[in-house]
Amino acid sequence: MLGRYGGRVILSNEPGSFPWSVLAERHPALIRKVRDAFPYGPDQRRALDALLKNSTEGVIEPLGARAADRAQWDAWGRAYFGRSWFDVPFLWAESYFYRQLLEAVGYFAPGPWQGIDPFRPFKLAEIDTAEADEELAALDELARQPVEVQEEALLHGSLWGNRADLGFRLSAGEGDASVDSQLVANDVEMLRSLFTGGALCLVADNAGRELIPDLLLIDHLLLHHRVGRAVLHVKPYPYYISDATTADVIDALRRLTAAKGAAADSGHRLWSAMTDGRLTVRAHSFSCAPLPYADMPDDLRQDFAAADVTIMKGDLNYRRLVGDRLRPATTPFAVPTAYFPGPVAALRTLKSDVIVGLEARTEAALVAAEDQRWRTSGTHALIQVRP
């Protein structure tokens, strides 16, 4: 399948490939995990079992007639109904899986389980750890450093926070923190040159141990007038296991304000910034769409156009920013992001096959050392900017 920006759209039908493993292994593991995390009743358990069978062995079916977003998903996916989940675009199949999982647990239907995030126990467990305590305590020392040092450290905290992704940890052996970590592209200075006192959009990825450093970065940029206001984009409903919603922002702020020292100071400043409008949270429906950002609606485009810089966090946002396609890794980052309405930066750890913007020698060194494993192992990261 060749598209507008070149490169083949990623499907999941090659056994042993990364996308195949997500559908064949990660999704079933996630269903079992969610099933065990709540005392769901027989109907929900049956629905989860049916989703497990359908998504691995069956064909894609439309949403039920009563689903409020049925027409929307019909428009996005009519061409895929009746086909195996493995034979349609990977991005579409994953997004629809999360939509169907919420359907199975009754997230949207009026009733006692409406609005209960099936991933919340895992998100909360993550910020309630000794590691999280240590990370927050380290802010006291950081606050004594020069502002530039703080900024660089907080940018890296936000970047590597992306490794703490719950979906990632469902796959055995991946995400080993002892593995050498490195940046395969580093436009950090260009990114910093874009903080000129105007507006920042930060498109969040995961809750918990990624969202907290994202918020700390926003606090730093506001405090030091590096940006005048910030818009934090989150998901309107639970998605890709750990993706941040407004409820997760509140949990993260409460975690910060309940801490001590510099962490608590940041938490209180962020709280005030939300109340006075310097920090706003947006939960646009397109944030859970199975589509690349190239297809974004006009109101979202205007949001990004008004920002001095938009920071896209994480792997999924990267796939949506540059398109979920296999292109030469040396394709300049500016090519697939040319459509974006303003300066845009990606802060991402590498957790899927998609990659652009590498220098030829960087790619050659990675392949020589690891074959293609560097693409999905989560041990490498990048900061890429299109000013």
Ligand X SMILES: O=P(O)(O)OC[C@@]1(O)O[C@H](CO)[C@@H](O)[C@@H]1O
Q: Which residues bind ligand X (CB under 6 A)?
A: 22, 26, 94, 162, 165, 167-168, 205-206, 240, 314-316, 351-352
* Residue spans of alpha helices (H) in the chain: 18-21, 27-37, 42-57, 70-77, 90-104, 120-127, 130-142, 147-161, 188-193, 211-223, 246-257, 261-276, 298-305, 314-322, 360-370
Q: Cβ 51 to ligand X, closest distance in Å?
A: 16
Nearer to ligand X, 188 or 312 (CB): 312
Spatial CB neighbours of 105, under 8 Å, sequence gap ≥ 6:
34, 38, 40, 44, 47, 48, 113, 116, 118
CB 119 within 8 A of CB 241: yes
Residue whose C-beta lies closest to ligand X: 351
Nearer to ligand X, 167 or 213 (CB): 167
Q: Cβ 198 to ligand X, closest distance in Å?
A: 27
Q: Cβ 82 to ligand X, closest distance in Å?
A: 24
Nearer to ligand X, 25 or 133 (CB): 25
Q: Cβ 130 to ligand X, closest distance in Å?
A: 23
Nearer to ligand X, 105 or 312 (CB): 312
Kindly report the backbone phi and psi dihedral angles of residue 88, in degrees, each rounded to the nearest multiple of 5, phi listed first: -110, 165
DSSP for 74-86, please give it. Answer: HHHHGGGTTSBGG
User: Cα(211)–Cα(208) distance, rounded to whole angstroms?
Assistant: 5
Torsion of CA 258, 261, 262, 264, to 10 degrees: 20
Q: Cβ 313 to ligand X, closest distance in Å?
A: 8
Q: Cβ 4 to ligand X, closest distance in Å?
A: 21
C-alpha 379 chain-centroid distance: 16
Nearer to ligand X, 165 or 219 (CB): 165
Nearer to ligand X, 20 or 38 (CB): 20
Bridge partners of residue 57, in order along the sequence: none
